[in-house]
Structure 1
């Protein structure tokens, strides 16, 4: 997060940035589906591989921004929390967001591995660094043991084992959670940079522009659709 002003002002600026990024990803994906739907009618055998790649990258970027938004809001509220139960509530949700983000990210691992080893092999090291950060994070914060217990018994569900519930939440530490969130945001920053590097590849940009150019020729209302998404 941007840290050159007060914490809350910094958080608000970060929320604006992440919101804009999420909006851009989803509006772009909406446009991609609109183009594919209309061009399929005109030319059934047209290859949409490049658009599918962009859409998939935008889906992962959306996941990153959703997690960033949730954790930035949690951090802001945790900073202002006036009592211990507010802190417990926010810490529970921080654990849940992180756990579920990694769980969803794992579904994209094969795609990202293929992209970095087959399509853009020069990015293999960059993805390795992201996954290595994730591995270190999971080990440090005991993802498979402690975090999963919190997710399954406290934040994602309320366990009927009240003793387990209580003995876990009384150990929550706001400062430790804040540091955990900072470590997680380092991962999402690196992942977002990796995704952006792919999207900025000249050939990918050219192939995308070629399809959009064809769509403009075939679809008289495309520019109107594009403007409506701004």
Structure 2
């Protein structure tokens, strides 16, 4: 088995794993909704802040999971692409996905619920979170990322990757 075949197998395994993860998340979201309804029925003034935080974390997790799934599908199809046009399509699609995901992970200050939540409730994670955000900032400052951001990736750039 060659390295590309191994990579396709790894993509398949990732797709299965993250698809199951999404299914578990859907069940968890359903349970949270049911729990909120029961609590609200018992006490209409109940504080649901913790449920809202869980929902926000699930949304964030779901977004990352879907992005990971999309990239796995793109990579799998890029590996098996027969034509340059197919390769170009999956490379461009991956670039756009990376750009969109990074913007979602690191939105403008004061718009990131996760950052606010960590700083207020999970102080032991602040340093690691800030390091992760710094890594995203550093990547966004690379020339490769700036090409993605400006959307001026040329056919030559894509073909050199393909």
Q: TM-score range by the shorter chain?
A: 0.7 to 0.9
Q: What is the SS of the residue equivalent to 1:172?
A: helix
Give, in whole Å, the separation in 2 of the partners of 1:173 and 1:109: 37
- Tell me how far apart the structure 1 counterparts of residues 37 and 93 of structure 2 sit (CA, whole Å): 38
Give the TM-score, by structure 2 length: 0.84
Contact 2:84-2:159 within 8 A present in 1 as well:
no
SS of equivalent residue, structure 1 residue 6: helix
Q: Distance in 2 between matches of 1:53 and 1:33?
A: 13
Match of 1:119 among 118, 121, 127: 121
Cα 1:50–1:100 change in 2 (3 A) is same
Q: 1:174 to 1:52 in 2, by over 3 A?
A: farther
Superposed CA deviations along residues 38-81 of structure 1, whole A, max 9, x for unmatched, are 32122111122221111111110001101100001111111111
| CA distance, structure 2, for counterparts of residue 71 and residue 80 of structure 1 | 14
| CA root-mean-square deviation | 2.4
Q: Give 1:99's aligned residue.
A: 99
Q: What SS does the corresponding residue of 1:23 show, helix, strand or coil?
A: helix
The range that moved more, 116-125 or 16-25, is 16-25
Distance in structure 2 (CA, Å) of the matches to 1:21 and 1:141: 34
1:157-211 residue CA offsets vs partner (Å, 9 max, x unmatched):
xxxxxxx7xx822321464x8xxxxxxxxxxxxxxxxxxxxxxxxxxxxxxxxxx
Aligned to 1:170: 156
1:71, 1:94 within 8 Å by CA — same for their partners in 2? yes
* Bigger Rg, which one: 1
Contact 1:25–1:59 at 8 Å: present in 2 too?
Answer: no
Which residue number in structure 2 is paired with residue 21 of structure 1?
21
| 1:110 to partner: Cα distance | 2.8
CA-to-aligned-CA distance 1:110-130 (integer Å, 9 cap, x gap): 312222222111100110121
Change (3 A) 1:111 1:9: same
| Partner SS, residue 45 of structure 1 | coil
Mapped contact 1:115–1:121 kept (Cα < 8 A): no
In the other structure, the counterpart of 2:64 is 64
Task: Say if 1:90 and 1:141 are closer, same or farther in 2 by CA, change over 3 A.
Answer: farther
Ranges in structure 2 where 5+ consecutive residues have no aligned partner = none
Match of 1:196 in 2: none
